[in-house]
Structure 1
Amino acid sequence: MNRRTFLKKSIGSLLALVGLSGGTYFYAREIETGMLQLKRDVIFSKKIPESFNQFKIVQFSDTHIGFHYSLEQLNEVVNTINNEEPDLVVFTGDLVDQANTYNWNDKLIKTLKKIQASNGKYWIYGNHDHGGYGTDIVKNTMDKAGFQLLKNSHTTIRNADGELILAGIDDVMLGDPNLRKTLTAANPELFTILLAHEPDYADQVVRYPVDMQLSGHSHGGQVRLPFIGDLYTPLYAEKYVEGKHSLNNGKLTLYVSKGIGTTRVPYRFLCKPEINIFTLKTQTAKS
């Protein structure tokens, strides 16, 4: 165990014992968890067709509804997404926190169904979606809400005379991911976006013709301290915790969302929830 890992685990254990006290605890639980921010990135590539210039993709992830996150809060997220007028919306997993105890009803379906995107709405499984016998009921909910599942599969997104590939793998922890199967018959010359819940899977993705990976799972650590960073992240989110990462000399760019909800502990500290907005630009297009 290196020094940084030792410090993170030691401080994390201390916080688990004494908790966040006083005003800091109130802020982390009641204030920052509701400070939803919009994280914007511009994606440049010669592989992006002219017809996709200014094409807007909105990613939301890790809502964990039911664990200190309500349908009312989700409705605010939906309104925020629609205000962006996205061309494409993707959800990168973990819809509810515990599928076996969540009170499933049509209200969730109706809320998600309100999300509008001219080129479609897509999603992938996260570990919490498979957990608690949630696999089928989560899929049924997303189907009825108008989202298309990408489970070791891909689709071609067409805009005028241009095309790009949108692919998604099954969850790494509790599913059966197969990237080779996912990209079978996909044109490697097209700009390819992969949805993968766990960000550390990027170390496998670099061997394939993928240009951009969108992930969640980490929550950015939820609790971060100055000079130390995140105190804890789950398995397969230990190397790439948040933000942008360039792999294989820039051939693959990974973006890790901090997500929206919380899990394990109901607070965030120096790690605001976020919706991620990506604007595509071809490098030959005028800015």
Structure 2
Amino acid sequence: MSTHMTRRSFLKKIFGGLIAIGGAGAGGYYYAHEIEPKLLEITRHTIQSPLLPPGFDGLKIVQFSDTHVGFQYTLEQLGKLVTKINSLDPDLILFSGDLIDDPYGYGDAAQIIGMLSSLRAVLGKYAVYGNHDHGGYGSDLYKRIMEEAGFTLLLNEARPVSLLDGSSIHIAGVDDSMLGKPDIAAAIQGIPQDSFKILLSHAPDLADSAAGYNIQLQLSGHSHGGQVQIPFYGPLVTPPHAETYPEGFYEVGTNKMKLYVNRGLGTTRLPFRFFSKPELTLFTLEKV
């Protein structure tokens, strides 16, 4: 499917959703445009695994995704988000892609770097590319922003996260599925089989491939939870590579790899959210 057709289909279905919202009156339209996009929801989940070293029991991970700064999501909102993340006192911070909606036309990179630099996580900050991070010739800009802000940008590679006692887990990250070249095998190459592995992939539907590897948890974004949902129906449309797994928890494959799809924070194409609140996710690891 071409990018042009994808965007046209997306807009057509979203406009259909807006007509449905409009059926609820002007109040519904106002809510979807002005209120829900600012209603940040913090979701909290526990991830259990026997592969976790004892020292990682109780470790806290914050995932945030899809800010799309510059479209509807403002620098003021980003600053408040940084404060909120720090208040959760995470040990690890993971960003699953799509930082700026249009990197080519954006001119406040220095301010974003300053804000993201103030994020605190004793065991590190990690990120992967989303399709918007590559789009508009933005790949190098995104790389510069994240690295200057203290993030480790994972491009089909992994890093150990180690404690003082020598125990570790591994964070792997793959390139975006739409505009990049994801390589799961390369990303996990050399990681011990008995290590607990977290895979960062902007696109959730990559889980169907990732489940064939010895990966315990995949964290993704990209879908925005559909951005516009209709009660008792669900998302009107989800983007390519987020059609099978639009939001929340799934168990994928015969090994039941856990997948979590974050709804993201910003909007794209059209500045509306309806029954799909922006999300910040806090995971607590638990050894069993």
**TM-score, structure 2 length as denominator?**
0.92
Secondary structure at the counterpart of residue 100 of structure 1: helix
Change (3 A) 1:31 1:253: same
Change (3 A) 1:110 1:13: closer
Q: Distance in 2 between matches of 1:198 and 1:57?
A: 19
Question: 1:217 maps to which residue?
Answer: 222
User: 1:51, 1:160 within 8 Å by CA — same for their partners in 2?
Assistant: no
Letter in 1 for 2:155: K
Question: 2:174 maps to which residue?
Answer: 169
User: 1:9, 1:231 within 8 Å by CA — same for their partners in 2?
Assistant: no
Question: 2:259 maps to which residue?
Answer: 254
Q: Paired residue for 2:206, among 201, 209, 229?
A: 201
Secondary structure at the counterpart of residue 169 of structure 2: strand
Identity, in percent, stands at 45
Q: What is the CA-CA distance between 1:248 and the residue it aligns to? A: 2.2
Q: How big is the alpha-carbon RMSD for the aligned residues of Structure 1 and Structure 2?
A: 1.7
Question: 1:147 maps to which residue?
Answer: 151
Q: What is the CA-CA distance between 1:15 and the residue it aligns to? A: 3.4
Tell me if 1:81 matches 2:70: no
Q: Distance in 2 between matches of 1:17 and 1:227?
A: 17
Q: Distance in 1 between matches of 2:38 and 2:15?
A: 25
1:69-148 matches, within 5 Å, as: 69-148=73-152
* 1:98-136 deviations in Å (ceiling 9; x for gaps): 111112331111011010000000100000000000000
Q: Paired residue for 1:34, among 33, 38, 63?
A: 38
**TM-score, structure 1 length as denominator?**
0.92
User: 1:120, 1:147 within 8 Å by CA — same for their partners in 2?
Assistant: yes
Question: Which segments of 5 or more consecutive residues in structure 1 lack a partner in the other structure?
Answer: 1-7
Letter in 2 for 1:14: G
Secondary structure at the counterpart of residue 43 of structure 1: strand
Q: Distance in 2 between matches of 1:247 and 1:179?
A: 16
Question: Which segments of 5 or more consecutive residues in structure 2 lack a partner in the other structure?
Answer: 1-9
Aligned length: 276
User: 2:11, 2:269 within 8 Å by CA — same for their partners in 1?
Assistant: no
- Tell me which stretches of 4 or more aligned residues in structure 1 moved more than 2 Å: 8-21, 248-251
